[in-house]
Amino acid sequence: MRKSTALYMAGILCFATPLLPSLLHAQESSQHHSFSLVTVREGLVQPWGFVFLPDGSILVTEKRGNLLRISAASTSRIEGVPAVATGGQGGLLDIALDPDFATNRTLYLSHSVSGSSGSGTAVSRAILQGDSLIGVQRIWEMDRKTGAGQHFGSRLRFLPDGTLLVSTGDRGDMNRAQDPFDSAGKVHRINRDGSIPPDNPFVKNKAAAASVYSLGHRNIQGLAVQPGTGKIFATEHGPQGGDELNRVRAGANYGWPVVTHGRQYGSGARIGEGTTKEGMEDSLIQWTPSIAPSGLDFYTGNAFPKWRGNLFSGNLAGTRIVRLALDGDRVIEAETLLEGRVGRIRDVREGPDGYVYFITDAQRAGLYRLEP
């Protein structure tokens, strides 16, 4: 097993060539590039995820259940969004475009839904037609729902083979993450219609639910697939300390709550059996104190050539972006950007213009970008 490495980082962040007009520029600098911090749009209410459409506009989810289209001229609301069970950390969460979106106009949303015993995470797909969603269909949902208000996950990412990854949190009940047949605290892999890929790791031996790709996760809110390799990387929240960056592998167990660098809230008491155990994956790095990582993306653009291939992670408690340079599965460089500049950072994405875009998490939030 790999030994995890604690990293403590400080630094600053940046933006590039605009798809959309900007409101404000602030000059910043980093280890490799100078850049401008640009305000693209203000007035968002707890945005959670966003994607770029082929026409250059941006779809943004708001946790309260709104899906917005931001264009150069306006911000409009998309009608027909599936009903969400808002409350606590639940609501309308992530968004992903179908790999064939240009022809089928299909998108996917993760969100919380109600059941007889509470709420849980679900995934719906729909067709975007103008400013409306049509043909909305729920393709996957957590089997066991509870009244807890925390740890829904949930990020969506497509793999190169066209299958969809869905992350779920442990719903505040840590032992659910180690139950292989419980859908909480997992990364799931499904087909675009919600069916199960026959090569999922537990399909043949039935040692876990068929949709499970990996287990032992507390609350993954950052998920990224490395271009060129298809490797999966995830950031997840620890309790009091012990936030993690993991390389997610098929069938692997990431230890929560058996192994963790985190402690019990308030008391600081140890959790589980220690920080490492045979048969469970060690994190690539861990953050103590917690930074609350949320949103994760690889940078591949030309606007910032020295950042190419780096991972960018938004931070909530850390109110910053963390840039990570990798050598294989090793983190060889880490830098903090924009610490304390704009507040809690919920999601980070590379734009088609090669700039780095991100959204903040607040009742009065915004969409920003970094430009050279």
Mean pLDDT by 10 residues, the chain (372 residues): 40 39 68 94 97 97 98 94 96 98 98 96 98 98 96 97 98 98 98 98 98 98 98 97 98 98 94 96 96 97 97 96 97 96 97 97 96 94
The pLDDT assigned to 204 comes to 97
Angstrom distance (rounded) from CA 237 to CA 240: 9
Residue 18 is predicted with a pLDDT of 52
Residues noted as catalytic: 151
pLDDT of residue 176: 98
Q: What is the distance in angstroms between the CA of the first residue and the CA of the last residue of the chain?
A: 40
Locate the domains of the chain by residue range. Answer: 5-371
User: What is residue 76's predicted lDDT score, i.e. its pLDDT?
Assistant: 96
pTM for this structure?
0.93
The CATH class of the 5-371 domain is mainly beta
Pairing relationship of beta strands 5-6 and 285-287 according to DSSP bridges: parallel
**Distance between CA atoms of residues 320 and 10, nearest Å:** 9
- What pLDDT is attached to residue 22? 54
Radius of gyration of the CA atoms of the chain, in A? 19
* Predicted local distance difference test score (pLDDT) of residue 73: 84
pLDDT at 8: 34
pLDDT at 19: 61
In this prediction, residue 24 carries a pLDDT of 57
Output the CA torsion sign for 138, 142, 148, 149. negative
**pLDDT of 126-178, one tens digit each?**
999 999 999 999 999 999 999 999 999 999 999 999 999 999 999 999 999 99
